[in-house]
Structure 1
C-alpha cells in the first residue's frame, strides 16, 4: 500500500470529495503532474500543500518525477517545479464545499474514484485520468457505460451524415447500448437526439454527453433543446468545475473521456483536421475498436473518415449491424452478410446452368441442338433437362425444350434451334 492510499483511507469521505471538487477547479484537465501527485499524497494532502505555499516534500517530488519518467514523459522535474505556482494562482478563489452545494441545486453530483458510479474505463487513461467527474442527471453513470458506443463527427454535417448517425444511434439503443458523444452540433446532436427518442430505462441512460466546460455551461447554447432531452433521458458529464468555460484546449482534452467511456468509437463524418479524429486516434491508443463511415470521395466532410480507414485506424462500417459486430463480443455479435437478389440458377449445378443458358425462350430445341450449343454430351444434356424440369425451369415445346419463363437474372436467350 502506498503512502497516498493510506492517507486517502484515513480521510473522511466528505473531505476527500471536497478536496477533489477543489482540484477540478485548481488544475486543468489531463494534468498528469497533478494526477500523479494525488496518487502519491492523496487528494486532501495535495490540496493542503497547494494552499500552504510551502515547497513540496522531497519524497513526493521523487515519487512523482519517477513515475512520470517511467511513463516516458519528458521534463518531469521541471514540470513538477512549475506546477505549484500554476495551481496556487487559482487557490484563493476555490471552495469545494460551495461548488458541491451549487451543483446539488442543479441536481448534479461529484463522482470520484472509489464510488460505485465511477466508470471503470477511465483507469485506462493512466495518469491522464480525470480526478473527478461532475454528473448531472438521475441515471447511474458506470451502469450506463457498461455497454456504450461513442458516435462522433463533424459539426457541419451533411444530411447524409445526420441520417446515418441517427440510424446507427437508434439501432444501438435497440440493442441496449448507451450512446456517448460531445453535445456539439451536427453528428453529436443527431446521435444524442436519436437515442433520446427511445429514452433511457430507470438507472440506465440512453445517452451521455461529455462537455468541455462546466455542467452548468451547456455549450453550444444553440443546442439547448438537445441538452434538455439529454438531461431527461441521460447524463451530462464534465471534469472541470461548475462555471468553467468551454475553452478550445479543453475540447481536445475532453475527447479522451469520450474515447475511454465506451468500448468502441464510430466516426460518421469528419474533415481532414476534424477534432473527431483526435477522439478516434485516442480510442485506438486505448485499444478500443474504431469504426468510420465512408462517404463520397468528393465530400470534404468524409475526408477524415477515409483517412482513418486508409491508415488502418478504423474499420469501415456502413450500418448498425457493422457497428454491433465491431463493438460486440468476439464471435457472438457478427453482422449478417448482405442479402443479394436470388437468381433462378444460383443454386444449380454447373452442367445444369450450361444447359439452361442454351435453352431458347420462344421455341423448343432438341437434344442434338442443345448438346451443340452447351458443349456437352448427349447423356449430360438429358440428365440436366430432367433436373431442370423438376425445378420448373424448362418445359417441353413440341419435340424439344425451352425455358419455362423469363429469367430473374440478367442473361441472353439461348442460341439453340
Structure 2
C-alpha cells in the first residue's frame, strides 16, 4: 500500500472510505497516523462492525475506486486540505471531539477561519424581507473583509452567497464560501447550478465528502455542525420552528461561538424559530444590522495572531 503512505493521499483515501466522525478512525488515527490507519482497514484486521461501516465494496474494488476518486479530484483542480496544512480551518477541532480527516475544496476563495468568518443561514421558504436582510448583511460583511459562510440552498442561504459573491467581485475579497453536505461534483439544489458554478469560479466550495457523495439526512446534520465551527458566529435570518438553520445556531452556541438572530414580524411563521431561539437560549443575540453583527463577533477572544477584522469606525427541515 505504498501509494497510500503519503499523508495527504492517505487522509483523502480515509475521507472516501468512511463518513466524517467514524469512531474507529477517530480513535486510531491520532495515535497511528493516516497511512497506518489505511493499512489496517485494507488488511481487514479490524472488527466486523468497522468493516461494515466502510463502503459496501470488495477490498479490490474499494481501493480501485479510492484511486479513481483521487485522480478525478486532481484532474478537476480540487484541493485536498488536511489538518497539517497552515490554512486548515482552526475551528474544526471544536466539533464535539472530532474533525474531518480531510476537506475537499474548489475555487480561489479564502479558506474560512473562525476569527474572520461568519455564517448566515435561514429559511428555504424565505420572504422578500428575509432575502433582502440576508443579502444586505452578506454584502456589507464581505465589504468589511469578513468571509461569509453558508450553503447554496434555496432561500436565505442562496441569497447570502449571491450577495457575498457580488461584494467579493467589487472588492476583490473572494469572501463567499459554500459548505456542502455532498461531493463537490454534485449539483444540489439543481435550481442553483449557476450559483455553484459562480462559487467555484469566484468563491469557494468546501466539503468533507469526496466526489460522488450524495446528500443524506446524516450528512446534512454533520454539515450544520461544520457551518457553525467554521465561523466566529452564526446569524439566522428567518427560520420556522423546524428549520435546519436553528441547528446551526445551536451548534454555534455549544461550540462557544456567537449565536445571532434577526427578528421578524410576530405573525410570520418564517420568523417563529428565530423568536423561539431568543426566548429559550438567553445567550442568543438579537441583531438588526451589520454593526450589531460585527460588535457581537468581537466578543470572541480569538488569539492575537489572528484578530477579528472588519469592524466599523465607531434548509427548512
Q: TM-score, normalised by structure 2?
A: 0.87
Specify which of 51, 54, 65 is matched with residue 84 of structure 1.
Answer: 51
CA separation of 1:88 and 1:197: change in aligned 2, threshold 3 A:
closer
1:180 and 1:115 mapped to 2: Cα distance? 20
Residue 304 in structure 1 maps to residue 273 in structure 2? yes
8 Å Cα contact 1:145/1:178 also seen in 2 = no
CA separation of 1:23 and 1:204: change in aligned 2, threshold 3 A:
farther
1:37 and 1:238 mapped to 2: Cα distance? 23
CA separation of 1:202 and 1:25: change in aligned 2, threshold 3 A:
farther
Specify which of 116, 120, 138 is matched with residue 90 of structure 2.
Answer: 120
- State the 4+ residue runs in structure 1 displaced beyond 6 angstroms: 11-14
- What residue is the counterpart of 1:362 in the other structure? none
- What residue is the counterpart of 1:176 in the other structure? 145
Residue 226 in structure 1 maps to residue 195 in structure 2? yes
- What residue is the counterpart of 2:297 in the other structure? 327
Rg (Cα) greater in structure: 1
1:42 and 1:14 mapped to 2: Cα distance? 10
- What residue is the counterpart of 2:249 in the other structure? 280
CA separation of 1:200 and 1:99: change in aligned 2, threshold 3 A:
farther
CA separation of 1:24 and 1:203: change in aligned 2, threshold 3 A:
farther
In structure 2, the residue corresponding to 1:241 is in which secondary structure?
Answer: coil
Specify which of 14, 36, 44 is matched with residue 45 of structure 1.
Answer: 36
2:171 and 2:45 mapped to 1: Cα distance? 48
Deviation string, structure 1 residues 73-114 (Cα, Å, up to 9, x no partner)? xxxxxxxx7223322644533444432221122221110110
- What residue is the counterpart of 1:235 in the other structure? 204
8 Å Cα contact 2:123/2:238 also seen in 1 = yes
- What residue is the counterpart of 1:103 in the other structure? 73
Deviation string, structure 1 residues 272-330 (Cα, Å, up to 9, x no partner)? 01111111111101100010011111111111101111112521111111111111257
Q: What's the CA shift for 1:13? A: 9.2
CA separation of 1:220 and 1:330: change in aligned 2, threshold 3 A:
closer
Q: What's the CA shift for 1:175? A: 0.9
Unpaired runs of 5+ residues, structure 1, are 1-10, 57-80, 337-417
Written as runs of structure 1 = structure 2, the 5 A alignment for 1:11-410 is: 15-55=6-46, 82-87=49-54, 89-90=56-57, 91=59, 92-94=61-63, 95-141=65-111, 146-199=115-168, 205-311=174-280, 312-328=282-298, 333=311
8 Å Cα contact 1:30/1:253 also seen in 2 = no
CA RMSD in angstroms comes to 2.5
Structure number with greater CO (CA < 8 Å, separation at least 6) is: 2
CA separation of 1:43 and 1:126: change in aligned 2, threshold 3 A:
farther
8 Å Cα contact 2:124/2:153 also seen in 1 = yes
8 Å Cα contact 1:50/1:88 also seen in 2 = no
Q: What's the CA shift for 1:119? A: 0.8
In structure 2, the residue corresponding to 1:237 is in which secondary structure?
Answer: strand
Q: TM-score, normalised by structure 1?
A: 0.67
